[in-house]
Structure 1
Amino acid sequence: MSKAKKEAAASTSGYGADLAPGARSPASYAANGVPSRGRRFAEPDCPTRSPFQRDRDRVLHSTAFRRLIHKTQVFVYHEGDHFRTRLTHSLEVAQIARTLSRQLRLDEDLAEALALAHDLGHPPFGHAGERALDRLMSGFGGFDHNAQSLRVVTALERKYLAFDGLNLTWETLEGLAKHNGPVVGVEHEPVRKVIRSLEAWQSLEPERWASGEAQAAALADDIAYVSHDIDDGLRAGLLTLDDLRSAPLAGGVIAALPAAEAPGIRSRLTYEVTRRMITLLIEDVVQESRARLAALAPVTPDDMRAAGDAVVAFSAATAVDLKALKAFLMQRVYRSRRVMDVMEEAEAVIARLFARFLTDPDALPETWRAAQQGLSERARARVIADFVAGMTDRYAIDQHRRLFDAKPELR
């Protein structure tokens, strides 16, 4: 093994190596270990920020990011002020992604940019909105929120004089496209289509794994949504602490909690479950990933991409338990009658809006009406899907009331 590889392997062993936990410098295999592959449209470097800090800031200041405040995570906004939205979820993912990246000596700014951007393409009403749009677009190329996130940052955000989109670095676009792994096979065709549209500039190398930072952001998403959906499920009364005693991962956390006796302690126990779940899962990723890094001994970011498998990962046992926990939440929370009643009506709202805009272009706002003029039906459908996907929950409800003189009861 070369001296450089030995040093890289040594840097991944031990909690703090020779650095304090809060002062861990990025390793040579971090995305900032080499210069960025650049931006689609050439721009001067920023004198005060790295390329990935600049990407993060562009995402944070985007219109699509602000809209996430009124887009459903699990519960529609009017069901309670304390439930997560897509915005608060994205912020929570970003915090966990930074923690993982710091411990694994990855670039925190790139991981944060990816975490903040990963849900920009989500339509209103969460996965119900995505299901509805995918069904409505089945004859026009389908709809996928990951592909839509790429479309947002490469074309749909229109605020800069020199280009459409946010003109993010190659590394951030790659991470958005492939944060869940290589995009091969028919199920990834919507993302691959967006990737192909960028090939005249550079390939995002869809058959390879993305950077370690993208892998960290993807696991941060899993950690955040599982832990916080348990929290929201408890607060909504869809779950009890006793229900969770038999659930994978959560059961061990519940067993270690004190018995609830003092007044008001149950709300504190709810938060304690979330806190301990996040800690448990982060520790598992850090330990497993350090072992994989030590075995791989990567020297450059491309060594991470060429590994042939995820380098940042849950342990095998935790991955099995996490899959079972997701199945538990699917049955008890996501497909509970209370949630499904709301989501079925939400899907109907999306369907009615889409059909109206497709058959009556005059119902669209002026800018969007002009954008679809003279296009084929397939291209018009994509413009309408872009418009509907960009709506917040409450804007979709308002549009439904305007066009159908009826406000849907999403309760």
Structure 2
Amino acid sequence: MSLHSTPSTSLSDVPPPAGYTAHDLERRVPEPPKSQARTPFQRDRARVLHSSALRRLGAKTQVLGAGANDFVRTRLTHSLEVAQVGRDIGAELGCDPEIVDAACLSHDLGHPPFGHNGEKVLDDLAAGFGGFEGNAQTLRLLTRLEPKVVGEDRPYGLNLTRASLDAAIKYPWTRGRGPDPASPKFGAYADDLDVYSWAREGAVPGRQCFEAQVMDLADDIAYSVHDIEDAITGLTLDLQKLQDPMERAAALYVVQDWYMPHESIAQLDAALSRLESEPSWLLSFTGSMRSAAALKNMASQLIGRFTRSAITATRTAHGEGPLSRYGGDMVVPEQTHLEIAVLKGLAAAYVMSSASQQPVYEAQEEIIRDLYSRLWNTGTQYLSPLFAELWHSAADDDGRRRVVVDQIASFTDVTARQLHGALFDRSLTHLTAADTPLPGLGSEL
């Protein structure tokens, strides 16, 4: 869709759902009236669901590398699972499930190839022009890079409603302006502040809207439970080993170091003990049908445990009325928070911080640094047509460097490896984007 108009506030063609206002339904660029068969929020979810950015998550690393085995989760399957958990929590608490669903599907769109490792490398490469952050990149995709609505002055991405866009902003602050100024997490780059400010009109500074809080919790729950499930099936984690005091202490130290530096090992041990007391806790996994079913049951019971705890605590704090936008906050009991952190930390201990992963991380870093250097030094030669257009329209070198980062961030793990192999194979030094054998290089977005 190409709309030759400038940003303004346009009201939806249908009345806002209960708990929302006409302000929440506004889009950055006005769109022609549409059939009332779907609500604006249903359209938002559909736009995210049909986006190329979401499809690409199918070949991007979650924890174990995409394609590591037939079972392992990718960013796409993780996002679908987050959406299911978030939609159920949101529906239970009274916010619009389509907004929560859209936010959950969106939450990882900005992640580059190779997961958090790729994110760190791109942040270092982009240090001189605003850095890189997966959630800020998500906002950039939703409001600029994903082709749907194009104005006279610039592209406007999927042109989501204000409420849906705000729900996708996990870190509602710019770099260095959050609760911890040293944290690398932030929600918007400097050149996206206009649309970020528009999405946050009427918001409480530094506070997530309720739908974003639901998305954030659903992400934590799915991340913690499913990464443990992947680690167990990948045979990198044997829960039985945690019965050994030395093994247990070493694992809990990683939990503390990665996620809970202000909590004592004793508190983390107590949280792990509570989880181990669950009847569904699985100490032995053999890969048999019965064992696989038991593991799936453990995952299901853990998700139920965490969601019930948060829903009950939130209802206790706010009563039984519907909650939406800035009408309340998710309440997660401290014990539940610690239990989720322990599971996330176990995945870190046995997968992400494993010594066997270090050569993998080093190879990934080399790929991204090499690609950045080559793409920057060859102009538009290896950029897809969409990014070549953005390169030509950039105002200065910082803008062009940002385009290179945007292009690399759009790559899947597979495309990044294949392009690196082609560009750094001496027999293919004259390769161009037009004749590259790499599938999809010209249509990454």
Band the TM-score falls in, shorter-chain normalisation: 0.7 to 0.9
Q: What residue number does 1:393 align with?
A: 413
Alpha-carbon distance in structure 1 between the residues aligned to 2:287 and 2:71? 23
Structure 2: where are the runs of 5+ without partners?
1-16, 249-268, 427-445
Alpha-carbon distance in structure 1 between the residues aligned to 2:77 and 2:45? 16
**Cα–Cα, structure 1 residues 334 and 250, in superposed 2: closer, same or farther, change >3 Å?**
farther
**Cα–Cα, structure 1 residues 312 and 87, in superposed 2: closer, same or farther, change >3 Å?**
same
Q: What residue number does 1:39 align with?
A: 27
Please say if 1:74 is aligned against 2:63: yes
CA contact under 8 A between 1:150 and 1:194: conserved in structure 2? Answer: no
Map 1:42-191 to 2 at 5 A: 42-43=30-31, 44-160=33-149, 162=151, 163-177=155-169, 179-180=170-171, 184-185=177-178, 186=181, 187=183, 191=188
Q: Which moved more, 1:72-81 or 1:158-167?
A: 158-167
Instruction: Return the offset for 1:291.
Output: 1.3
Q: Which moved more, 1:320-329 or 1:107-116?
A: 320-329
Map 1:202-281 to 2 at 5 A: 203-204=200-201, 205=203, 207-243=205-241, 248=272, 250-253=275-278, 264-281=289-306
Residue 132 of structure 1 aligns to which amino acid in structure 2?
Answer: V
Instruction: Return the offset for 1:299.
Output: 7.6
Q: What residue number does 2:371 align with?
A: 353
Deviations 1:179-227 (A, max 9, x none): 3566643445562636622267564446152332211111000000110
Deviations 1:130-184 (A, max 9, x none): 011011111121000000000001000123455530000111111222x356664
Residue 327 of structure 2 aligns to which amino acid in structure 1?
Answer: D
Q: Which moved more, 1:236-245 or 1:73-82?
A: 236-245
SS of residue in 2 equivalent to 1:198: helix
Q: What residue number does 2:439 align with?
A: none
Instruction: Return the offset for 1:315.
Output: 0.6
Alpha-carbon distance in structure 2 between the residues aligned to 1:143 and 1:393? 17
SS of residue in 2 equivalent to 1:76: coil
Alpha-carbon distance in structure 2 between the residues aligned to 1:195 and 1:231? 37
Residue 349 of structure 2 aligns to which amino acid in structure 1?
Answer: Q
**Cα–Cα, structure 1 residues 34 and 375, in superposed 2: closer, same or farther, change >3 Å?**
closer
Alpha-carbon distance in structure 1 between the residues aligned to 2:229 and 2:197? 45
Instruction: Return the offset for 1:391.
Output: 0.6
RMSD: 2.9
Q: What residue number does 2:437 align with?
A: none
Residue 139 of structure 2 aligns to which amino acid in structure 1?
Answer: L
Q: What residue number does 1:371 align with?
A: 390
Residue 34 of structure 1 aligns to which amino acid in structure 2?
Answer: T
**Cα–Cα, structure 1 residues 250 and 360, in superposed 2: closer, same or farther, change >3 Å?**
farther
CA contact under 8 A between 2:281 and 2:298: conserved in structure 1? Answer: no
Alpha-carbon distance in structure 2 between the residues aligned to 1:172 and 1:180? 15
Residue 341 of structure 2 aligns to which amino acid in structure 1?
Answer: K
Deviations 1:224-272 (A, max 9, x none): 0110000100011110131356672542336755988996432222222
CA contact under 8 A between 1:33 and 1:300: conserved in structure 2? Answer: yes
Residue 54 of structure 2 aligns to which amino acid in structure 1?
Answer: F
SS of residue in 1 equivalent to 2:168: helix
Deviations 1:274-327 (A, max 9, x none): 1111111111111111112129x78874433xxxxxx21321121123233333
More relative contact order in 1 or in 2 (CA 8 Å, sep 6+)?
1
Q: What residue number does 1:343 align with?
A: 361
Alignment size in residue pairs: 370
CA contact under 8 A between 1:182 and 1:210: conserved in structure 2? Answer: no
SS of residue in 1 equivalent to 2:110: coil
Q: What residue number does 1:11 align with?
A: none
Identity %: 34
Structure 1: where are the runs of 5+ without partners?
1-29, 305-310, 407-411
**Cα–Cα, structure 1 residues 194 and 146, in superposed 2: closer, same or farther, change >3 Å?**
farther
TM-score of the aligned structures, taking structure 2 as reference length: 0.75
Alpha-carbon distance in structure 2 between the residues aligned to 1:170 and 1:98? 19
Q: Which moved more, 1:322-331 or 1:228-237?
A: 322-331
Alpha-carbon distance in structure 1 between the residues aligned to 2:143 and 2:371? 25
Alpha-carbon distance in structure 2 between the residues aligned to 1:54 and 1:401? 40
